[in-house]
Amino acid sequence: MSLEAQMTQYRFLRQYGEGLLADIDAEDAFRPVHENGHHPAWIIGHLATIGSRGIAMLGGQPPIDLEEWSPRFGIGSEPTNDPGDGPSWDELIAAWRATHDVADEVGREASVALLNKPNPIERRRDTLPTTGDMAGFIFSSHEAVHLGQLSAWRRVQGRPRLF
């Protein structure tokens, strides 16, 4: 097993994400489309957080402090619409980019033995049985799902589609 295909997708998703982010400013980044919606700031913070969890799972050093970021952006977290409550928009984008940089390197270097270990996230082990399966999901499908949310947010805001 390797993560080659998933890391190729992750590199593509970074390019796609860069396009989605290109015309979003800090003022709009914390604006949801409805009361319970995920706004761009939460989406990008969430992707940096979960991507960093994938990096840690593969033995790498996450570019963010997971203890600090997980309550704000981890699984089950709720977005805050206050730009002063957490990292700035620029810090969120920088963290997402750094996560991509580190994950790309760690994903390429992950050993077959590590990837074949049982998924450390027990509640996902029935459908994603190995560490490689879970990391592959994080660096491909998970990223794509949330960038799709960002794309939908853009369309509701009247911004053009990218594809």
Render each residue's pLDDT in the chain as its tens digit; 163 residues: 899 999 999 999 999 999 999 999 999 999 998 888 899 999 999 999 999 999 999 999 999 999 999 999 999 999 988 888 899 999 999 999 999 999 999 999 999 999 999 999 999 999 999 999 999 999 999 999 999 999 999 999 999 988 8
Cα distances from 43 to residues 39, 50, 79, in angstroms, run 6, 11, 9
For residue 1, the model assigns a pLDDT of: 80
Distance of CA 47 to the CA centre of its chain: 2
How large is the greatest C-alpha to C-alpha distance in the chain, in angstroms? 47
Q: pTM of the entire structure?
A: 0.96
